[in-house]
Amino acid sequence: MASTTNEVVYELPNFIRVYKDGKFERLSGTDVVPASTDPDTGVQSKDVIISPETGVGARVYIPKTTNPGQKLPLLVYFHGGGFVIETAYSPTYHNYLNSLVAEANVVVASIDYRRAPEHLLPVAYDDSWTGVKWVASHSNGGGDEEWLKEYADFERVYFAGDSAGANLAHNMAIRVGPGGLDGIKLVGIVLVHPYFWGKDPIGSEDISKREFVDKLWVYVNPGTSGSDDPLINPVMDPKFPSLGCAKVLVCVAEKDLLRDRGWNYRESLGKSGWGGVIDIMEAKEEDHVFHLFKPTCENALAMLKKVASFMNEEKA
């Protein structure tokens, strides 16, 4: 008889497989690449440890051309992967951020937070907040990361992410709130194909595919109140109108299951009394995080330029 330790008790396709003995394997997003100077863009990157106790870290990027005394917009980026797969050191994100830094001429701190199932939510939120506060600690000459002190403009800070990372970016802006965070001015957030959800279907959501999203959320956050938890359904959050920035860019994809959640976020935030400016960009004929897998396609390049422009507009 085969050992029962190899029996699969839980699986989320492309994410994770869990065995009866408690072991698990991530089914994608496990590759890493070292920090480097990118030969195509000249963008430089380095890895830093934010918290030795937890292992939370960041990969910091600067563009090829940096002039003495020039301060550039600072982007704090949160990677996607359903809170389960991918890291800040994945080739997918390393390549994307090299391109974004080159296009937008910004400094990036890509936060590497701890993931489920070893570290269930809200750990990723708390780790991300640790990363945000670490970034802010470099204002006024503090902190120990020279690239941030030398090149970052802490009056022009942005949060961004894709999928689960967009969820994190939104929730970090909620934590910043209208009172702000000492050391930085959060100008705006970019939410790419945000992982938002809700108990009741909206728009044209495919009912047959909802179970996967529901299962993933409960798996990474077993203590949740459900799919209307404000962490994943921001329109249910009483603090929604207190988003701590002046402008938001939401990017959605026409064939993405999460498309209507992005549109709903835009419409609901506009009606909430928040008072900022919100823009939305939809990529036709594309699916979830297409830009990471087809970075040179027309829609991906258009979105890259849109995000870069968003971070280089006049100060809000």
- Is pLDDT larger for residue 1 or for residue 113? 113
What was the pLDDT predicted at 3?
Answer: 39
Residue 11 · residue 18 · CB < 8 Å = yes
Instruction: Check residue 4 and give its pLDDT.
Output: 53
Q: Is 58:93 a contact under the CB 8 Å cutoff?
A: no
With respect to residue 92, please indicate whether it lies within any of the assigned structural domains: yes
The reply to whether 84 and 196 lie within a common domain is yes
Q: How many Cα atoms occupy the beta-carbon half-sphere of 291 within 13 Å?
A: 29
Amino acid at 69: G
Residue 316 domain-assigned (yes or no)? no
Q: What is the CATH number of the domain that holds 304?
A: 3.40.50.1820
Task: Count how many domains the chain has.
Answer: 2
Q: Say if residue 69 is in the same domain as residue 22.
A: no
Whether 159 and 233 map to the same domain: the answer is yes
Shared domain for 54 and 118, answered yes or no, is yes
Region 46-51: what's the mean pLDDT?
98
φ and ψ of 279, to 5 deg = -125, 155
Q: What is the pLDDT of residue 266?
A: 98
Residues 2 and 127 placed together within one structural domain of the fold: no
Whether residue 73 is found in the same domain as residue 211: yes
Q: Which of the residues are catalytic?
A: 163, 256, 288
- Can you give the pLDDT at residue 314? 66
Lookup: tokens for 93: 């994100």
Q: Please give the share of the chain, as a percent, with pLDDT higher than 70.
A: 97
pLDDT reported for residue 2: 38
The 10s digit of each residue's pLDDT in 165-223 is 999 999 999 999 999 999 999 999 999 999 999 999 999 998 888 999 999 999 999 99
Instruction: Note whether residue 90 is domain-resident.
Output: yes
| 26 and 42 share one domain | no
Reported pTM: 0.96
Does a structural domain hold residue 295?
yes
Cis amide leading into 230 (omega within 30): no
Residues 68 and 189 in one domain: yes
Query: What pLDDT was estimated at residue 1?
Result: 30
Residues 248 and 104 reside in one and the same domain: yes
- 51 and 26 within one domain: no
Region 60-76 average pLDDT: 93
Name the 3-class secondary structure at 119: coil
Q: Which residue has the tokens 């029996």?
A: 7
Q: Is residue 233 part of a domain?
A: yes
CA-nearest of 104, 157, 150, 28 to 308 is 104
CA triple 81-283-98, angle to 5 deg:
55
Contacting residues for 237 by C-beta, under 8 A, at least 6 apart: 174, 230
Same domain assignment for residues 230 and 126: yes
Q: Are residues 232 and 132 in the same domain?
A: yes
Q: Which domain holds residue 258?
A: 33-310
pLDDT at 66: 85
The two tokens of residue 127 are 């780790």
Instruction: Report if residue 206 sits inside a domain.
Output: yes
Domain-embedded: residue 192: yes
Residues 6+ apart with CB under 8 A from 121: 83, 220, 221, 223, 224, 231
Q: Does residue 171 belong to any structural domain of this protein?
A: yes
